Chains A and B, each alone.
Chain A
Amino acid sequence: MVNKVMSAKDVVASIQDGMTIGIGGWGPRRKPMALVRELLRSDVKDLTVVSYGGADVGMLCAAGKVKKLIFAFVTLDFIPLEPYFRKARQNGDIEVVEVDEGQMLLGLKAAAMRVPYIPTRIGLGTDLVKHNPQIKVIDSPYDSKEWVAMPALNLDVALLHVDKADARGVCQISGPDMYMDDLYARAAKKTFVSCDELVETSAFDSAENSRLVFWERSETTGVVHLPCGAHPTSCGPAYGFDTKHFKEYATGAKEESGWSDYVAKYVNCTEQEYLDKVGGADAIKRLPLPVF
């Protein structure tokens, strides 16, 4: 029986310069941040990143790892504007393909379906088609209208975080939303998943648990056991996002040395040291879920 358990280092070792990587989650929610930190510790560069962006995008931009960003938004939600993403954009440091949230879903879906594009009305009449020359407007074989052909977002690698997984790559998301993680898994050549808990396959015997599995294990390349691996983002229902940590991160960004200070404190260390610095796993599990 296949055993897909690996380390975060193994995951990053399979990411090469210039690859296109998709990062699951949404804004400050269920991002594979421990895997992102491992990526920050590596020499990998010139990445094309596809993300419903939060601090994952901000940090990769701050570290100079992003060549091109495919995004619909980058936000920490309760802090609306992501500071390092803003700097990168305002300095013209990164190429961007700015798309609608739903268009991004269609691009991932097209990749998952192995078709070159999905037609949509989204983007017509807007500057998306002006600023993204690679997104074409086409004629329909069935009517006399123009439509946008949203190109497939083929990913080399997807990085995701879930609450439970087994060694074969069966992954469970118990939070209220899987966002587009299922599509990222299907759109990627290789999908690496960090999990809060590594469980026996028998954990999925129950209908309740198996209903919370949203892609087949054949879509999972590797599983990394990283407790609290989404921190400082949330992994509902287990823990909410860490507002105190995000405030420190965003306040630091106002200083010239903000990013290097953050790296020195929270990146240049082991994950165990990281967890100790942010208060430990028990404190993380007490972080309240946000109320909207």
Chain B
Amino acid sequence: MSSEVSLVDRIICAAAQAWKDDGEVLATGIGLVPRLAASLCMKSVNTDIMMTDSEAWIVSEPVPVGPRGDYKIKRETWMGFSRIFDNVWGGKRHAMVGPVQVDRFGQANISMVGGDYARPKSMMLGVRGFPGNSINHANSFFVPNHSKKVFVEGEVDMVASVGYNPARLPKGWALEEMTDIRFIFTNLCVLDFGGPDHQVRLVSLHPGVTAAMVQENTGFPIFLPESVQTTAAPSAAQLAQLAELDPHNLRASALGA
């Protein structure tokens, strides 16, 4: 069974565990894999989480991705963008996002790449909601291509979201009340910030991946615990639910395959 599981399905099912103990929070997955992970979580892991239709409504059941055919969304309340911020600032949210760069502190960037902020080598989106999300509620990351280009050696080029960097701690604040980064899911492994002093720690390896491979593709030292598990395979029930949530199998190309 497990050998037939595609990598992307394994990652989605692992990532669905991110909201396991969150209770009633707004789970936001930005991008296909995080969105499916949140949807699967709401179906099977933590049925108390709340989700939107990625537009303007909170829905009482996760909305399938792609063309919906006859499916009608089940609305619970309005959740336009201004109200999203009301929710963000109250802290009852856990977002899973896809940064372009991440550093050893968990500081993340989607804005621009290059050494000169006034003339970026590559301009991307802008910081979007990263600064506010990161200091207000829990966040996890999804990185489809684990490499030193993403997991950079120094600090990210534009610190868009706060991490566990003591040098950037504002007066009167503690790191733990500013920052709550839960997990990083990549195409190689699952990481968290559970090492000494919030060092990035290896949680599990996907089948066929070694800790050495992860370290080689990461620009900073990773904390290796004594035992590291293999990322769990999805259950048959989860795979069936995933097929319902992604009826057009859009996830098949989510890792750039």
Contact = CB atoms under 8 A, between A and B. Distances in A.
A and B associate = yes
A144 B126 contact: no
Contacts of B53: 292
Interface stretch (B2-10, B130-138, B142-150, B181-189): B130-138
Contacts of A74: 125-126
Interface string B118-135: 111111111111111011
Contact of A145 (B124, B161, B173): B173
A127 B162 CA distance: 9
Given A92-B118, A180-B82, A72 B159 contact: no
Contact of A143 (B82, B134, B160, B172): B172
Contact of B160 (A91, A126, A183): A126
Main secondary structure of the interface of B (DSSP, over half): loop
Interface of A: 26, 53, 71-75, 80-81, 85-86, 89-92, 98-103, 105, 120-128, 130-131, 137, 139, 143-146, 176-180, 183, 291-292
Contact of A102 (B67, B85, B112, B123): B85
A137 B169 CA distance: 13
Task: Give 6 nearest A-B pairs by CB, closest first.
Answer: A145-B172, A176-B56, A125-B162, A292-B54, A73-B126, A89-B123
Interface of B: 53-57, 65-68, 78, 80-82, 85, 88-89, 111-112, 117-132, 134-136, 158-163, 165, 168-173, 178-179
A75 B117 CA distance: 19
B68 to A, nearest CB: 6
A30 to B, nearest CB: 12
A130 B119 CA distance: 16
Contacts of B123: 81, 85-86, 89-90
Given A102-B88, A176-B55, A126 B131 contact: yes
A195 to B, nearest CB: 20
